[in-house]
Amino acid sequence: MGDDKNALPGVGGEEVLEQWQQDSIKEAFRPIVHLLERLSFDAVDLLKNNTVTVEEYARSLLGRIKERDSIVKASVYLDEGLTIKQAQALDQNPHGQPGPLHRIAVGVKDVINTKDMPTQFGSPLYQGHQSGFDSSAVAILRAAGALIFGKTTTTEFTVTNSGPDTANPHDPSQTPGGSSCGSAAAVADFQVPISLGAQTGGSLIRPASQKTFSPTFDTFGFIASSMQDLQLPADVFGLQDDEPPASKIALEKATVTLIKTPPWHRAGPGTVVAMEKAVTILEEQGIKIEEVSSPPASFALDGFASMRALADDLAAKYFVIITPSAEQELTYSALPQVLHMPVINVPAFVGSHGMPIGISLVAGRFHDQHLIGTGKVLGEFCMAGGSGADV
């Protein structure tokens, strides 16, 4: 889509591969390009050092999308001409103040307004709808130096069960899950290093469980390939804890609580095994695990407000809370959301069908930075030992 004559078909253009072959990066440069496609914190250094230009970086990602879009279908709008023009403009001001994101590509969910791209809410009713302004989140990203890299797919108005044709990169016959499906699929398929999504009750954590890392900050959240990448937007959005997080995590003093959440009795065998394996891995690192029961799922929604104080008390007692990320039931990923608690998904386990299975790490309110730091450590443990969960 997009009006540019070079727009990629289906996502906005037709000539990326030829341009890539003709005037882009030399063969010897390709290892760096592949690095750029995967890790934004490495790309930041390469862009800052002028090892690559923003245009070369953008063309690398466009080439990846051209190669994979017919399979993954993560983008609903991507105008190649606009993207290259913005990248060239950033290159023309190399000595300015690019901001902490330093021209890193960020995909944006198609329910979040962008001034120069349509926002269509995943609905034919809003085909071609142009708001003409950036949402506050997008404006902050641009001010921080991000290169907004098109719009990613979503279910209609984020609430319908049936969604777009977006496929899970791990298995194209499977759904990405959740309304932030395109944001998660784009990151998992190395089309962009970071995506902006939104969550009401699981739209970030569910797809992240099936693909990559994701925290949620109130209603907006980011999906990224690593905990280091998550740190970039967390700093840009000024997430500050009530008290400074520890510079070094003392695992010998850490106690983690396990909450299986109300619909645990309906959890699939892969989720059960993944949770059990996570507990074993952490205990082997000397971390104490305590299981805490949760109230029944049928409690009234009015009780959530009073539960937040109880949840804060619970979180204060423990280093972090572990829960399942997804099971077909919204309740798994919705509970931290309605309690206003930050949550990060760690897709550390792989089922017998080769699909990722995630666990959620949850912290108390206003402890986002603590959770990211904790996620770096515990996530590495689980990722290193979590390839054998059987579905």
Sign of the four-CA dihedral 215, 218, 222, 227: negative
Q: How far apart are CA 131 and CA 286, in angstroms?
A: 53
**Which residue among 109, 151, 211, 260 is the active-site one?**
109
Query: Reduced to 3 states, what is the DSSP secondary structure of residue 104?
Result: coil
Residue pair 236/372 in contact by the 8 Å Cβ criterion = no
Annotated catalytic, 333? no
Question: CA 275 → CA 255, 280, 308, 385, distances in Å?
Answer: 16, 9, 24, 13
Query: Reduced to 3 states, what is the DSSP secondary structure of residue 85?
Result: helix
Please give the structure tokens belonging to residue 105: 């590509």
Q: How far apart are CA 128 and CA 314, in angstroms?
A: 47
Phi-psi bin for 144: left (phi > 0), alpha (psi -120 to 50), beta? alpha
**Which residue among 75, 179, 180, 333 is the active-site one?**
179
Identify the H or E element spanning 123: none
Q: How far apart are CA 146 and CA 99, in angstroms?
A: 8
CA 377, 281, 275: angle at the middle one, nearest 5?
A: 100
What does the longest C-alpha to C-alpha distance in the chain come to? 62
Q: How far apart are CA 295 and CA 366, in angstroms?
A: 23
DSSP string, 234-297: HHHTT---SSPPPSS--GGG-EEEE---GGGGG--HHHHHHHHHHHHHHHHTT-EEEE-----T
Query: Reduced to 3 states, what is the DSSP secondary structure of residue 72?
Result: helix
Residue pair 152/163 in contact by the 8 Å Cβ criterion = no
Annotated catalytic, 109? yes
Q: How far apart are CA 76 and CA 127, in angstroms?
A: 11
**Which residue among 195, 203, 225, 325 is the active-site one?**
203
Q: How far apart are CA 217 and CA 201, in angstroms?
A: 12
Q: How far apart are CA 108 and CA 149, in angstroms?
A: 7
Q: Are strands 105-109 and 194-198 parallel, antiparallel or unpaired?
A: parallel
Q: Which residues are catalytic?
A: 109, 179, 203
